[in-house]
Amino acid sequence: MARPRKPAITKQGKSETKEHLDARSEVEENMRGDDSLLRQAPAWLDEYGVIYYHFMLDQMEQFDFLGNLDIPVVAQTADCLSKMQQLDEYLKEPDTDLIIHIYDKQGNDVPKENPAIGTKLKYLVQFRALATQLGLSPSSRAQLAEMQIQEGVQEKDVVDAIINGD
C-alpha cells in the first residue's frame, strides 16, 4: 500500500520543486475550507475523547492546516486515545489479570491473554494510522519544526535586507 501524501506545508521540496509545493500548498489551502465548526467536539465522543480532541486541536493550532473536513479524523484519533486510556485503567484494576484462565471441555486450565490487551492493540494500530494522516508522528513533527526554523531564517534575511537597504 502506498504512503499517504503529506500536505505540501509539511514538505521541504526534496521530491518536488519549491514552485510546485507552493502551488500545491495554495490549492490545499483552498480545499481545506472553513474551520468554523472545528472547535466543537462531536457529541458522540465520551469525556476523555472530548479532552483529547481539544488537546490535539490546541497542539495543532499553530500550523493552521485543519478545517471542518478534518473533524472526523481528529475525532476518531481522540476516540482511539480515549479507548486506550480506558483500557489501561481497566487493566490496572487490582482484580484484573493480564492472563485469564479458561477451561476447555475436559476441564483443563487454559491460560489466555486478557482480551482487553488485544482490544488495546487494535486501537493502537488504528491510532497510528490516523496519527500519520494528521502528521502527528515524530518524523512529521520534526519536519514541521525544521520548516518553521527555515521560514524564521528566511524572514530574518528579508528583515535584514530591508533594514540594510539591500
The grid cell for 137 is 508522528
pLDDT on residue 155: 54
DSSP state of 38: T
Task: State the pLDDT confidence band at 49, using cuts at 50, 70 and 90.
Answer: very high
Smallest Cα–Cα separation from 100: which of 114, 118, 83, 82?
Answer: 114
The grid cell for 33 is 475550507
- Tell me the C-alpha distance between 47 and 45, whole Å: 7
With a cut of 60, say whether residue 110 has pLDDT above it. Answer: yes
Rounded mean pLDDT of 137-161? 61
With a cut of 70, say whether residue 76 has pLDDT above it. Answer: yes
Q: Which residue has better confidence, 93 or 30? A: 93
**pLDDT per residue as tens digits for the range 6-20:** 555 555 556 667 777
Global pTM value: 0.68
Smallest Cα–Cα separation from 67: which of 26, 41, 36, 40?
Answer: 36
Mean pLDDT, rounded, of the chain = 79
Task: State the pLDDT confidence band at 4, using cuts at 50, 70 and 90.
Answer: low
pLDDT on residue 150: 66
With a cut of 80, say whether residue 122 has pLDDT above it. Answer: yes
